[in-house]
């Protein structure tokens, strides 16, 4: 009998949430030297140089504050770097390289993971848990609602004042965060405060996940899906609707544990998700599957049909495009491995 994700209900103790904030395994060995800039995109080489320079600043800040009156040390303000660019241009590679090159303690997580940690610990405990860190690396920085805007603005301002350096990646400039999702003008002061923390560096180029690759693979039959799933030890096989329902019962901070140890994911009966809440949960699941390099194979609709044209025209467009890009990469991985 095949295993199912819907039968898993993992629990992550609150005190482990910060400890598990490290880069995904696929970025364990990356470095500035292993980033190969595209010669056609000069901004990439410039971004590598800026990221290396930022790491040195972080280390210098970490090694000691400024000397004030009577020789007493004062806390230096943390540095800030914002890597802005499209999908698949190596921003996460650079973010992980910064993480690996600065002193511990340090933390790395997606924007969504960070908000989940703050939600689980409470604001003050989250600040205390991160205040002694040399750097906080935030991948896929995005603001989805006014609450997140206020929360993140306060958190980063407090941490920066305590000497924690902040580096973030996103495909949205700081001044445009939240655009199209809520009345951004009402929160402009907070968004500007966020923007003032960062020095913004642009990273241009095509999505490496799609270079010279074929379009999304056609779904296979349900019968073949079952056969393939049963042939792989450690694979899971789920019905799409049942899986989406199960995701709604789990806090997104638990999705990482949900797929832990899984060798391949098979999903039967995929179809376009018409509910925004369901679609956003699929985005988080896609991120965790991608972080763990878990192949994905489906029956039903193609993986590039999960997010409807209406959703792709809305405020979460960039999230959905990133998730599609990642799911397609994982589906090709399975085709190549099979």
CATH number of the domain where residue 320 is located: 3.40.50
User: Beta partners for 267?
Assistant: 238, 298
One domain, residues 193 and 228: no
CA pair distance 265, 268, nearest whole angstrom: 10
Contact 221, 185 (CB under 8 A): no
One domain, residues 135 and 227: no
One domain, residues 70 and 160: yes
Q: Could you say which of 206, 230, 252 is where a domain stops?
A: 206
Please determine, for residue 16, whether its predicted confidence score (pLDDT) is greater than 90.
no
CA pair distance 187, 183, nearest whole angstrom: 7
Compute the average pLDDT of residues 120-137: 93
CA pair distance 336, 338, nearest whole angstrom: 6
Please determine, for residue 138, whether its predicted confidence score (pLDDT) is greater than 60.
yes
In a domain, 142, yes or no: yes
One domain, residues 101 and 132: yes
One domain, residues 215 and 70: no
Q: What's the confidence (pLDDT) of residue 216?
A: 79
CA pair distance 288, 139, nearest whole angstrom: 13
In a domain, 261, yes or no: yes
Least confident of 17-21, 189-193, 210-214: 210-214
One domain, residues 166 and 224: no
Position 148 confidence tier, pLDDT thresholds 50, 70, 90: confident
One domain, residues 170 and 240: no
Please determine, for residue 181, whether its predicted confidence score (pLDDT) is greater than 60.
no
CA pair distance 2, 226, nearest whole angstrom: 9
pLDDT in tens, 197-229: 788 888 887 766 555 555 778 899 999 999 999
One domain, residues 187 and 264: no
Mode of pairing for the β-strands spanning 66-67 and 73-74: antiparallel
* Helix and strand totals (H; E) in the chain: 12, 10
Compute the average pLDDT of residues 228-251: 95
In a domain, 127, yes or no: yes
Q: What's the confidence (pLDDT) of residue 190?
A: 62
One domain, residues 36 and 168: yes
In a domain, 16, yes or no: no
Q: Could you say which of 151, 176, 206 is where a domain stops?
A: 206
Domain holding 119, by residue range, is 31-206
One domain, residues 222 and 294: yes
In a domain, 85, yes or no: yes
- Eight-class DSSP state of 307: B
One domain, residues 115 and 202: yes
In a domain, 68, yes or no: yes
One domain, residues 90 and 38: yes
In a domain, 6, yes or no: no
Q: What's the confidence (pLDDT) of residue 184?
A: 43
Distance of CA 268 to the CA centre of its chain: 26
Position 335 confidence tier, pLDDT thresholds 50, 70, 90: very low
Query: Is 20 or 100 the better-scoring residue by pLDDT?
Result: 100
Please determine, for residue 86, whether its predicted confidence score (pLDDT) is greater than 80.
no
- Eight-class DSSP state of 233: T
Q: What's the confidence (pLDDT) of residue 276?
A: 92
Please determine, for residue 182, whether its predicted confidence score (pLDDT) is greater than 60.
no
In a domain, 26, yes or no: no
Q: What's the confidence (pLDDT) of residue 77?
A: 87
* Total count of domains within the chain: 2
Contact 102, 55 (CB under 8 A): yes
Please determine, for residue 324, whether its predicted confidence score (pLDDT) is greater than 60.
yes
* CATH number of the domain within which 96 lies: 3.40.50.300
- Eight-class DSSP state of 97: H
Please determine, for residue 174, whether its predicted confidence score (pLDDT) is greater than 80.
no
User: Beta partners for 266?
Assistant: 237, 297
Contact 91, 81 (CB under 8 A): no
Position 337 confidence tier, pLDDT thresholds 50, 70, 90: very low
Q: Could you say which of 206, 228, 250 is where a domain stops?
A: 206
């Amino acid at each position: 009998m095949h295993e199912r994700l819907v039968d898993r209900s993992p629990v992550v103790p609150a005190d482990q949430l910060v400890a598990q904030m490290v880069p995904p395994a696929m970025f364990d060995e990356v470095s500035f030297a292993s980033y190969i800039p595209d010669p056609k995109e000069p901004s990439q080489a410039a971004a590598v140089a800026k990221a290396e320079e930022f790491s040195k600043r972080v280390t210098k800040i970490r090694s000691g504050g400024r000397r004030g009156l009577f020789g007493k040390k004062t806390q230096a303000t943390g540095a800030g770097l914002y890597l802005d660019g499209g999908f698949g241009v190596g921003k996460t590679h650079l973010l992980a390289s910064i993480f690996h090159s600065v002193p511990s303690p340090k933390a790395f997580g997606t924007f969504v993971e960070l908000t989940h940690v703050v939600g689980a610990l409470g604001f003050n405990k989250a600040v205390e848990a991160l205040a002694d860190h040399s750097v906080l690396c935030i991948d896929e920085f995005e603001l989805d609602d006014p609450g997140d805007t206020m929360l993140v603005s306060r958190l980063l301002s407090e941490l920066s004042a305590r000497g924690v350096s902040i580096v973030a990646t996103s495909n949205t400039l700081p001044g445009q965060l939240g655009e199209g999702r809520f009345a951004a003008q009402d929160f402009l002061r907070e968004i500007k405060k966020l923007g003032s923390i960062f020095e913004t560096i642009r990273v241009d180029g095509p999505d490496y996940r799609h270079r010279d690759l074929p379009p999304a693979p056609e779904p296979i039959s349900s019968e073949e899906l079952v056969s393939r799933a049963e042939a792989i030890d450690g694979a899971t096989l789920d019905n799409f609707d049942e899986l989406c329902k199960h995701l709604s019962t789990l806090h997104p901070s638990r999705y990482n544990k949900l797929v832990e140890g899984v060798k391949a994911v098979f999903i039967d009966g995929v179809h376009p998700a018409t509910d925004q809440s369901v679609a956003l949960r699929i985005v988080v699941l896609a991120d965790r599957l991608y972080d763990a390099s878990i192949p994905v194979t489906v029956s039903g609709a193609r993986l590039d049909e999960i997010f409807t044209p209406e959703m792709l025209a809305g405020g979460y467009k960039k999230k959905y495009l990133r998730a599609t890009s990642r799911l397609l990469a994982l589906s090709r991985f399975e085709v190549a491995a099979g």
